[in-house]
Structure 1
Amino acid sequence: MFNLTPTVRNLLIANVLFLVAQQSLLPLLTQIGSLYPIGTPLYYPWQFFTYMFLHSGWGHLFSNMLALLVFGPRLEQLWGATRFLTFWLVCGVGAGLCYDGVRAVEIYRMEQSQREFRQAPSGPDYVGFFEKHLPEASGYQDLAVALDREPQNQAYIAQANREIGEAVAYVRDSRAAGMLGASGAVFGILFAFAYLFPNLEMYLLFIPFPIKAKYLVFVDIMYELYRGTHRVPGDDIAHFAHLGGALVAFIALKIWEGGSGRERFR
């Protein structure tokens, strides 16, 4: 049975209420509260805080809140309510900063590829743009073949430039560019749990033997790193937000730990 501590309980309630508001009372909350790339039309500074209380649906919310419910209470008992809440928020905001930093680099590279294509348009480069930056895209192959067959055809070149421009705008400026969810903060909690209780054995569904917390989190982080650097079509998970939450958790733990050992956490 779960040991529900006060701050964990309040975070669960807050996240449920926010999702209800998103779906029933204030749908605009998703747009103004999700985290968008810095400098784009839909970005607002408060999104680094609000995005972690918003979710795409009940399944998304359930997975994050289940992790909070499993790993959070023990940390709250160890640290107390104030430090636990501070840690949760710091990891969430830090994960958003890491994610937006990675997104800024990705958008810059995408815009650079766009400029290079404008300077020297070709069918292979047109295909390469989408394969590199939007692997989930489809329907561009016919134009690529036509442009490769007639590389000086201005109509084909104009259409290719237009579609690349629309792709860049979609990634950078559209409503679909927003990121939301408590996963970054959750990964901070997971990392802290494994750091403080590394040898605690845990039982997982579908795995008939216990796994130590340090191995469980290590495998999870390696998986996120692999998926973040090897994008596949249809993967809309913010892997670098997860990794950012774990990184910020490590930094926060080392700062709190200081030079006096783990007693500083108590």
Structure 2
Amino acid sequence: MNRYFQTPPVVKNLIIINVLVYMATALLPVGDTIMQYCALSLGTPYFHTYQFITYMFLHANFEHIFFNMFALWMFGRTLEYELGSQRFLTFYMVCGVGAALIQYLTALAFGELPLLLVGASGAVMGLLLAFGVMHPNAVIMLLIPPIPMKAKWFVIIYAVIELFLGWKGVGNVAHFAHVGGMLWGFLLLHWWKRRGTIRF
């Protein structure tokens, strides 16, 4: 079968875990308890350091998980094949944890605590950044509006928009977490490149 239609193991398992956790929080009586203890509850009595990891596997609603998992599947497959499964998982987790750290520091600086954070968006934004860096001239077809755009321009424009929206405090979205995931992804990619472990 053509590799394009296959899903490598880490991407597949991340999607499965995220979907199962979402179903548990949406359908089971313990759903609220899972959210209470596993969402990143910064500045609250429920905060625990492990939440910097567990928050990535929780999602607020169907739309939230659908778009995150779709982006993970779209960009993650290519990156896992190129980076290898172990390095890909390391990259994903570093971007997710790093995104939460950036969101926490900005919330602390702007006096926006307490803060509740859920979702794989920060880690997924790291993948988008990596795809744009490693395949700058690949064409991405946007959904809205439906126009083609080179990956490098899409990443730059998206990052600028997220930074602006975060600065303005627009919406109930962790915009700085998105930017943070991209930042940590950029730093990790270039660290690996300097060590000669990857090429792009």
For the criterion TM > 0.5, the same-fold answer is yes
Corresponding residue number in structure 2 for 1:118: none
Distance 1:206 1:242 in 2: 19
Alignment pair present for 1:11 and 2:9: no
Q: Is 1:37–1:103's contact at 8 Å kept on the other side of the alignment?
A: no
Matched, 1:45 2:40: no
Provide, for residues 167-190 of structure 1, a one-character-per-residue CA deviation record: whole Å limited to 9, x for no partner: xxxx52xxxx31100000000000
Structure 1 residues without counterparts, runs of 5 or longer:
111-170
d(CA) in 1 for partners of 2:34, 2:86: 27
Which residue identity does 1:104 align to in structure 2? Answer: L
Q: Which residue number in structure 2 is paired with residue 242 of structure 1? A: 178
Residue of structure 2 equivalent to 1:253: 189
Q: Partner residue of 1:34? A: 39
Shift of 1:69: 0.9
Give the superposition deviation at 1:226.
0.7
For 2:86 and 2:158, how far apart are their aligned partners in 1? Answer: 28
**Residue-by-residue CA offset, 1:21-65 (whole Å, 9 max, x unaligned):** 112232211111111225x31211101000000000111000100
TM-score by length of 1: 0.69
Match for residue 264 of structure 1?
198
Please list, as runs of the form range in 1=range in 2, the aligned pairs for 1:17-96 lying within 5 A after superposition: 17-25=20-28, 26-27=30-31, 28-38=33-43, 40-96=44-100
Alignment partner of 2:177: what SS?
helix
What percentage of residue pairs aligned between the two structures are identical?
42
| Residue pair 1:6, 1:81 contacting (<8 A) in 2 also | yes
Instruction: Give the deviation of 1:99 after TM superposition.
Output: 0.8
Unaligned runs of 5+ in 2: none
Quote the Cα distance in structure 1 between the aligned partners of 2:5 and 2:74: 7
Partner Cα distance (1:3, 1:57) in 2: 27
Distance 2:146 2:48 in 1: 46
Q: Is the 8 Å Cα contact of residues 31 and 178 (structure 1) preserved in structure 2?
A: no
CA distance in 1 between counterparts of 2:181 and 2:34 reads 23
Partner amino acid, structure 1, of 2:194:
G
Residue 10 of structure 1 and its aligned partner are, at CA, apart by: 0.6
Deviation at 1:231, TM superposition (A): 2.2
1:85 maps to amino acid = L
Q: State how far apart, in whole Å, the 1-side matches of 2:6 and 2:173 are.
A: 29
Instruction: Indicate the residue corresponding to 1:213 in structure 2.
Output: 151
TM-score (norm 2): 0.91
Q: 29-38 or 198-207, which moves further after superposition? A: 198-207
Provide the residue aligned with 1:129 in structure 2. none
Deviation, structure 1 residue 204:
2.0
Q: What is the alpha-carbon distance in structure 2 between the residues aligned to residue 45 and residue 100 of structure 1?
A: 12
Q: Alpha carbons of 1:208 and 1:50: their partners in 2 closer, same or farther (altered >3 Å)?
A: closer
Q: Which has the larger radius of gyration?
A: 1
How far 1:76 sits from its partner (Å)?
0.4
Residue identity matched to 2:174: A
Task: Tell whether 2:127 aligns with 1:189.
Answer: yes
Q: Deviations over 1:160-214 (max 9, x none)?
A: xxxxxxxxxxx52xxxx31100000000000000000001112222445421000
